[in-house]
Chains A and B, each alone.
Chain A
């Protein structure tokens, strides 16, 4: 079983739709959680950190469920520019090291 698992998709949604991605992790001692965005042939960029209380940044909402060991990312009112691959990242107890999921691909269509 992979340490971090994501549904690879692809998710194809119309503009304006709401879409949600889940990511599960296997190490219950994991400490920190993040979502990154990666555009085609570009470097990953930090989208948002995921806090225990959940957090929101504009149209994006991230949540953490420690009991079930998963994090989620909700995108409301999807835009064409949201089309990208979304990477789930989990940091364990080892200093500095994080594990990346393989990513979920989102395509937003007109």
Chain B
């Protein structure tokens, strides 16, 4: 089993461009999460989902949108990228208690 996978692994965007990050899990977990991690800092929750078709805001949701049309996928969208969104993005899936993370997407916005 692959666990949690993320696509792409790396991306460079220009300010104002849009993109979608894909997270997929094969563990059949109800809960999925998107975090960002900036250098020397902890994980900050962007959005999360408690099941297929549901989404909720986390700690830092501004500038991001999400969708969970299928249980195994959780998409994170940036409509108009800004340099402040340069970060490492981690997706996780879990039981509502433990969480299992994907390998991350390194995004640079110039």
Contact = CB atoms under 8 A, between A and B. Distances in A.
- The answer to whether A and B belong to the same complex is yes
Contact of B42 (A32, A49, A100): A100
A61 interface: no
A46 B99 contact: yes
A95 B96 contact: yes
Task: Tell me whether chain A's interface is mostly helix, strand or loop, or mixed.
Answer: strand
Contacts of A101: 42
B103 interface: yes
Which of B35, B42, B96, B97: most chain A CB closer than 10 A? B42
Contacts, number: 43
B100 A96 contact: no
A95 to B, nearest CB: 6
Contact of A100 (B31, B43, B48): B43
B43 A91 contact: no
Interface stretch (A37-45, A52-60, A74-82): A37-45
Given A43-B104, A44-B90, A98 B99 contact: yes
Contacts of A45: 101
Q: How many interface residues does chain A have, given as a range?
A: 10 to 19
B38 to A, nearest CB: 10
Contacts of A96: 31, 33, 48, 50, 94, 96
11 contacts: A32-B97, A43-B103, A43-B104, A45-B101, A87-B43, A96-B50, A97-B48, A97-B58, A100-B35, A100-B42, A102-B41
